[in-house]
A and B are shown apart, each in its own frame.
Chain A
Amino acid sequence: MMAKRKMSLNELSEKVGLTLSNLSILKTGKAKAIRFSTLEAICKTLDCQPGDILEYKTS
């Protein structure tokens, strides 16, 4: 999605208001949970739906 919007991690972190480390945790799938407010901010910035950036995988 970031590639589609031609947005770097730095740019996204600035627009969403998250630190680079938190965004990195999210991107690498190490996050345990995400707040709705954060998800909303990311979706708003990337102009997408939660389903576009979240995927379910069996562990």
Chain B
Amino acid sequence: MLKERRLFCFLYAEAIVLLKEQFLLNVDIFLPIFVLSNHIFMKTNTRLILKVLYIVSWVIFVGLCVEAGGYLVNAFFAMANPGIVDRLWKDADLSDLFRFDNGHFCVMNLAIFVVSGMKAWLFYLIIKNLHGRKLDIAQPFRKEVRRFITWMSLLALLIGLFSFWGATYAEWLAGQGVKMPDEQHLRLSGADVWLFMSVILFVIAQLFKRGIEIQTENELTI
């Protein structure tokens, strides 16, 4: 807790200095906010963190839904009205791919949609479990929590695999002479990170399985 507080204070101080120097803002008014936030931080407990995570998860979920839907709608619009391909999605410009081959264009869009869709599904699961305090800190070792972690592990694995496949496919298309945006803009980067996360979550799920066994035995010990 002390370490987190120190880190928070350091980051806050750095942000204040940056604002003052770069944007010439009079940030002395932030001092009371700093004091208050420091006080709040001292009282931060798990419930508050979970609440914040719940809100952040909602924001990310909505963003990912918009992204996934956007790519799908763009693909349909591109097929219906090829003239507007250049004006769709500024960063992930697939106009060159569209001119190269319609089939490859559809597959690429499908890959991006699947990855974004699964990321949205992952955050939906997080929201579902955080909502209504299903994650009971008093009794964390429950079958529902283990199932939730296992599902997250599976989704992370699928996201990693599809991202890897999508990135490899984009690389192959670039090798065919098609001007492709980079992995970052196609939302297919970080496959290795997703695979790593999948392994970690799987291990945690196994630990939870053992924890449930120990807890059940403990509960049935009179």
A residues apposed to B, CB below 8 Å: 18, 22-23, 25-26, 30-35, 38
Contact = CB atoms under 8 A, between A and B. Distances in A.
A3 B69 CA distance: 70
Contacts of B222: 18, 22-23, 25-26, 31, 33-35, 38
Contacts of B221: 31-35
Nearest to B220: A32
B141 to A, nearest CB: 15
Interface of B: 216-217, 220-222
A26 B220 CA distance: 9
Contacts of A30: 220
Contacts of A31: 220-222
A34 B221 CA distance: 5
A26 to B, nearest CB: 5
Contacts of A22: 222
A31 B220 CA distance: 5
A31 B221 CA distance: 6
A37 to B, nearest CB: 10
23 contacts: A18-B222, A22-B222, A23-B222, A25-B220, A25-B222, A26-B222, A30-B220, A31-B220, A31-B221, A31-B222, A32-B216, A32-B217, A32-B220, A32-B221, A33-B217, A33-B220, A33-B221, A33-B222, A34-B221, A34-B222, A35-B221, A35-B222, A38-B222
Contacts of A26: 222
Nearest to A38: B222
